[in-house]
């Protein structure tokens, strides 16, 4: 019995030259091209794993801080490298659950709440992983979800429903060609991401060396011309600048364009981003306009992790102000002050002011944060070195982002969308 269906054929927008005349892709039902894995661990001694959306297989000890398998361990499923598992837990990236191929380990024990399967030999695992990465399965599974989640947090999708997913696929040779192309691109993306991580670690090390450690008044690393400049002086943030209050506005003030209101969502990885913007009428009262080199700080948020996050406002910003949950620190030496707000001394003072029910920093707290600081010439030297590192990190981040956009374009050209499946 053929696995192919007679309808729903597809030709991708992009195709390698050698497959231009290979005919259209055909529909395959997952249950027809795979075998469900139900082998239990039993008495085997295997490492328990879980699945994290956006990352894939991870050790339970890494995700939860300990092995949580307990008495259920013997009922876990045996997975070998190349096998797949579907985690029915919903997430922001994968609302209908995520599917990953095991590539991190040779053999593991996977929770039996996962639906596990192995593709037949004439289908390429990495080709289908591209489908799963783009959530191709999500819209098809959505129709089976009668409630958002059970009490366990797992979506109520049965194995029968799961294996009814339909894919459009070419022959094995073309699958392999596509998989090899995207795998090599993934390797390049991973290398670029590693470079970003390395630069960020280097910046963190510089901050630790260029600013005094706790209980010290001079740093471990100092430029030669300042070796004999003496100890740094303890000052409060209020000694270094002033705070500019944020704007309180109502929904009726919001416009499609006008005066940009910077919020916590406009801070990402220490930079100002403008992909989630709110505008208000330009003549609104009480708006304190932001200036280039102002430091935007999140001082109130539902997420404690965001409190204290900050970014320096660049020169090329449109006319803007900032919301009431934010504040702006306007410093005499903004480039140095920004780096001061990246240090462990700043982070520890932010953490010390937050309790279990307090998700904010008030102005008096912030202005009373204390730091050891050098003279203006040494401040400038430190700021210039760290700024050059920030610029290198930003440039590397842009290269990474460009590759990720390139991959998305390839995926759109090489694969169909879920809407092109004839169900």
* CATH number where 220 lies: 1.10.287.1120
Q: Are residues 352 and 390 in the same domain?
A: no
Q: Can you give the pLDDT at residue 102?
A: 97
Q: Is 213 helix (H, G, I), strand (E, B) or coil?
A: coil
Residue 254's domain is classified under what CATH number? 3.90.220.20
- Phi/psi for 104 (5° steps) reads -85, -25
Are 281 and 342 in contact, with CB atoms under 8 Å apart?
Answer: no
117 lies in a domain?
yes
* 124: containing domain: 26-169
Residues 383 and 319 in one domain: no
| pTM attached to this predicted model | 0.83
What's residue 4's pLDDT?
Answer: 41
287 and 392 belong to one structural domain: no
Whether residue 87 is contained in a domain is answered as yes
Last residue of a domain, one of 169, 194, 217: 169
CB of 94 closer than 8 Å to CB of 52: no
Query: What span, in angstroms and rounded, lies between the C-alpha atoms of 199 and 204?
Result: 9
The token pair that represents 22 in the structure block: 């290979």
139 and 244 together in one domain: no
Q: Among 125, 150, 169, where does a domain finish?
A: 169
Q: What's the burial of 143, exposed, middle or buried (CB within 10 Å: 0-12/13-18/19+)? A: exposed
* Residue 259 shares a structural domain with residue 357: yes
The answer as to whether 111 is a domain residue is: yes
In a domain, 5, yes or no: no
Helix intervals (H) in 226-333? 237-240
Domain match, 33 and 141 both = yes
Same domain, 218 and 291: no
pLDDT computed for residue 423 by the predictor? 53
Q: Which of 339, 341, 326, 234 lies closest to 287, judged by CA?
A: 326
Query: Are 242 and 205 found together in one domain?
Result: no
3-state secondary structure (DSSP) of residue 297: strand
Same domain, 47 and 179: no
What is the number of domains present in the chain? 3
Residues 50-79: tens digit of each pLDDT: 998 888 999 998 888 888 888 899 999 999
- Shared domain for 369 and 239, answered yes or no, is yes
221 and 312 housed in the same domain: no
Helices (H), 212-300: 237-240
| Residue 11 belongs to a domain | no
Residue stretches of the chain with pLDDT short of 50: 1-6, 148-151
For residue 33, the model assigns a pLDDT of: 97
Please say which residue of 169, 193, 209 terminates a domain: 169
Residue 282: inside a domain, yes or no?
yes
**pLDDT cut 70: percent of the chain above it:** 94
Quote the pLDDT of residue 5. 41
Same structural domain, 70 and 105:
yes
- Whether 42 maps to a domain, the answer reads yes
Residues 6+ apart with CB under 8 A from 322: 244, 246, 247, 261, 262, 263, 288, 290, 296, 328
Task: Tell me whether residue 13 is in a domain.
Answer: no
The span from the CA of 97 to the CA of 150, in Å, is 13
| 328 three-class SS | strand
Residue 416 CA, distance from chain mean position: 25
H or E segment and range at residue 74:
none
């Amino acid at each position: 019995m053929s696995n192919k269906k007679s309808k729903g054929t597809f030709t991708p927008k992009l195709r390698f030259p050698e497959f231009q005349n290979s005919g259209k892709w055909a529909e395959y039902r997952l249950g027809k091209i795979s075998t469900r894995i139900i082998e239990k661990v039993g008495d085997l001694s295997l490492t328990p794993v879980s699945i994290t959306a956006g990352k894939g297989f991870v050790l339970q000890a890494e995700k939860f801080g300990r092995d949580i398998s307990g008495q259920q361990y013997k009922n876990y499923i045996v997975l070998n490298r190349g096998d797949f598992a579907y985690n029915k837990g919903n997430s922001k990236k994968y609302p209908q659950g995520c599917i990953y191929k095991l590539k991190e380990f040779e053999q593991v024990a996977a929770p039996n709440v996962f639906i596990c399967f192995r593709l037949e030999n004439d289908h390429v695992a990495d080709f289908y992983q591209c489908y799963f990465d783009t959530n191709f399965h999500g819209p098809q599974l959505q129709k089976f979800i009668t409630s958002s989640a059970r009490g366990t947090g797992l979506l109520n999708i049965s194995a029968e429903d799961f294996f009814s997913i339909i894919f459009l696929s070419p022959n094995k040779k073309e699958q392999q060609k596509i998989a090899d192309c995207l795998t090599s691109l993934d390797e390049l993306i991973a290398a670029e991401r590693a470079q970003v991580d390395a630069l960020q670690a280097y910046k963190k090390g510089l901050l630790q060396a260029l600013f005094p450690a706790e209980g010290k008044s001079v740093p471990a690393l100092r430029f030669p011309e300042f070796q004999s400049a003496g100890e740094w002086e303890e000052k409060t943030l209020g000694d270094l600048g002033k705070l500019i209050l944020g704007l309180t506005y109502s929904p009726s003030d919001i416009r499609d364009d006008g005066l940009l209101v910077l919020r916590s969502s406009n801070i990402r990885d220490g930079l100002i981003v403008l992909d989630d913007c709110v505008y208000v009428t330009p003549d609104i009262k009480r708006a304190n306009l932001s200036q280039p080199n102002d430091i935007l700080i999140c001082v109130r948020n539902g997420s404690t992790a965001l409190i204290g996050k900050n970014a320096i406002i660049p020169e090329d910003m449109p006319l803007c102000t900032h919301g009431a949950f934010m504040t702006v620190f306007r410093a005499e030496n903004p480039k140095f002050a920004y780096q001061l707000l990246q240090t462990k001394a700043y982070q520890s003072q932010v953490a010390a002011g937050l309790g279990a029910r307090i998700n904010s920093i008030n102005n008096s707290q912030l202005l009373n944060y204390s730091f050891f600081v050098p003279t203006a010439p040494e401040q400038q030297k430190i700021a210039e070195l760290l700024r050059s590192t920030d610029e290198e990190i930003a440039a590397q981040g842009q290269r990474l982002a460009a590759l990720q956009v390139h991959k998305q374009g390839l995926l759109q050209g090489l694969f169909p969308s879920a809407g092109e499946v004839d169900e």
